[in-house]
Amino acid sequence: MNKKFTEEELRHYYKLLDEPLTPYDCGKLCAPQNGGEPFCCILENAVPMLYREEFKYLSHRTKLWKRWSSSHPQDKKQKKDEETPILIFCECKGIAHCERENRSIACRTFPLEPYFNPKGEYVGLIFMREFTGKCPLIGRLKDIKQSVVDKHYEFWRLIMEKKSDEYDLYKSTSRGWRISATKRGIALPILYPSWYKG
């Protein structure tokens, strides 16, 4: 079952996701190859998905966000097929207008998502498979701060307690990652919280 987040919860989530992933500005790694903008802030590369109540919450705080719309038939199909009862596609005004405190959960968590082991246990975070070869942090996992991994792990634990759709989704993406990694003979790009014993 999916339960709605309260504003207080959203404030807490944003606090958990405030710290930058790396000790340096990782946008400087990818921007030179992307016309001077961070890869993940370019709409054509990644359309952020916001929780429906998160979009409402942000709409009260800022004019940075609006629902994503496109006249391109393929985009219309994507919107129809991929928006869910809990998540909607949104767009911001772009990097020149970014408001750090009003970045979405999607902005703050990119490029990491929850990882479930083969026993179905939530054990850590994993690099999003669809962005391997696109976001350079895949080759710099050691640069991602342990304090960030710990807080993001806790964040996703809270989210999945409230949104069972997310729990199901990430169990499935973790399975997909394992199949792909086995086929390609590569190690899974997993980051564990500091208390993980293995």
**Rounded least distance, CB 180 to ligand SF4, Å:** 20
**By CB under 6 A, what part of segment 114-173 binds ligand SF4?**
135-137
- Quick check: 40 binds ligand SF4 (CB under 6 A)? yes
Q: Where are the alpha helices (DSSP H) in 70-122?
A: 73-82, 105-109
Given the rule CB under 6 A, which of 5-13, 22-30, 148-156, 165-173 is the region that contacts ligand SF4?
Answer: 22-30
**Rounded least distance, CB 168 to ligand SF4, Å:** 25
Identify the residue among 51, 86, 90, 103 touching ligand SF4 (CB under 6 A): 103
**Rounded least distance, CB 105 to ligand SF4, Å:** 10
**By CB under 6 A, what part of segment 60-89 binds ligand SF4?**
none
**Whose Cβ is closer to ligand SF4: residue 87's or residue 167's?**
87
What three-state secondary structure class fits 163?
strand
Given the rule CB under 6 A, which of 91-99, 142-150, 163-171, 188-196 is the region that contacts ligand SF4?
Answer: 91-99
**Whose Cβ is closer to ligand SF4: residue 10's or residue 171's?**
10
Q: Where are the alpha helices (DSSP H) in the chain?
A: 7-16, 27-30, 52-61, 73-82, 105-109, 146-162, 164-184
**Rounded least distance, CB 39 to ligand SF4, Å:** 4
Q: Where are the alpha helices (DSSP H) in 1-145?
A: 7-16, 27-30, 52-61, 73-82, 105-109
Which residues, other chains included, contact 138 with Cβ-Cβ below 8 Å and sequence gap of 6+? Answer: 111, 127, 131, 132, 189
**Rounded least distance, CB 50 to ligand SF4, Å:** 10
Contact 67, 148 (CB under 8 A): no
Contact 65, 47 (CB under 8 A): no
Q: Which residues share a beta bridge with 122?
A: 116
Positions touching ligand SF4 (CB under 6 A) are 26-27, 29-30, 38-41, 48, 92, 94-95, 98, 103-104, 107, 110-111, 135-137
